[in-house]
Structure 1
């Protein structure tokens, strides 16, 4: 049986505290919950936040760009928090996933504003939207999508 691969994307540099050099525990917790969920379901998870030590081990732009593009190219599922305000890096990754014809799941927090091209991406790509209020709600909704 082949292991399925998921690429988990989201804002990064804007969430790193300039004093500690690390992401906040709240933001990190959302990603860790999703990483654990997917791993427990048997998926191989690629996530730059974890790869780069939650902010303490940033790679060079050339390194992370190449790795992320290659990982998106070979993933079975692309999952992303687009960011509100928009995360430029995450939006580039969403564009790559769309152009590469990947199944995309976009995670949208309730009561946030998202770019129009994020809201309308489903007209040109295979996109499923999950609107959620908290991490527990998000995990329940991700489970229901994977069970389809």
Structure 2
């Protein structure tokens, strides 16, 4: 039996899981041991957005309670790498200033052949490193230039669809 033509289509076909990366430890307030709410907001907006589609979101920020339950370096490193390997898509906010951990994760995603969507601050493109701006020459990358994550959700979804569609059929 075939589905009726008016049946809802998945918003992000072929995407069951996303690894969401971005600056973390550098944003944790030393007085509270937690990321400030304003720093959490882009991640919570994206997590809620993707989860409404039924997509599993791997995210260290949430997993580690926004800084209140930080894992040991060896544990979080191995877990992040495994979750990137398991994810269908890698989405990241590279950070200005650059987030060293996020940049390592971007490298893992690239080598693992994951479609990558980078959320860059609009108007600050020249502040990103050459290797970030040039990542598309060696990996499947879509750049989305944003001023506010919540206002860019449709553009982010479109970038994910484009990146996934560009993968070789055997991926």
TM-score bin (small chain): over 0.9
Residues 89 and 146 of structure 1: CA distance in aligned 2, closer, same or farther (over 3 Å) = closer
TM-score, normalised relative to structure 2: 0.82
Contact 2:91-2:116 within 8 A present in 1 as well: yes
Aligned counterparts of 1:83 and 1:115: Cα–Cα separation in 2: 10
Does structure 1 residue 145 correspond to structure 2 residue 168? no
Aligned counterparts of 1:37 and 1:108: Cα–Cα separation in 2: 18
Bigger Cα Rg: 2
Residues 98 and 10 of structure 1: CA distance in aligned 2, closer, same or farther (over 3 Å) = same
Does structure 1 residue 83 correspond to structure 2 residue 83? no
User: Which residue pairs with 2:27 in the alignment?
Assistant: 15
Q: What is the deviation of 1:143?
A: 2.8
Alignment of 1:1-148 (within 5 A): 4-112=16-124, 113-146=127-160
Contact 1:3-1:42 within 8 A present in 2 as well: no
* SS at structure 2 position matched to 1:144: helix
Q: What is the deviation of 1:142?
A: 1.3
Over aligned residue pairs, what C-alpha RMSD do you find?
Answer: 1.4
CA deviation digits over 1:48-80, x for unaligned, max 9? Answer: 000000000000001001100101111100000
CA deviation digits over 1:109-130, x for unaligned, max 9? Answer: 1133111100010011000000
Stretches of 4+ aligned residues off by more than 4 angstroms: none
Unpaired runs of 5+ residues, structure 1, are: none
Unpaired runs of 5+ residues, structure 2, are: 1-13, 163-171
Contact 2:90-2:114 within 8 A present in 1 as well: yes
Aligned counterparts of 2:134 and 2:15: Cα–Cα separation in 1: 31
Aligned counterparts of 1:74 and 1:96: Cα–Cα separation in 2: 12
Contact 1:106-1:130 within 8 A present in 2 as well: yes
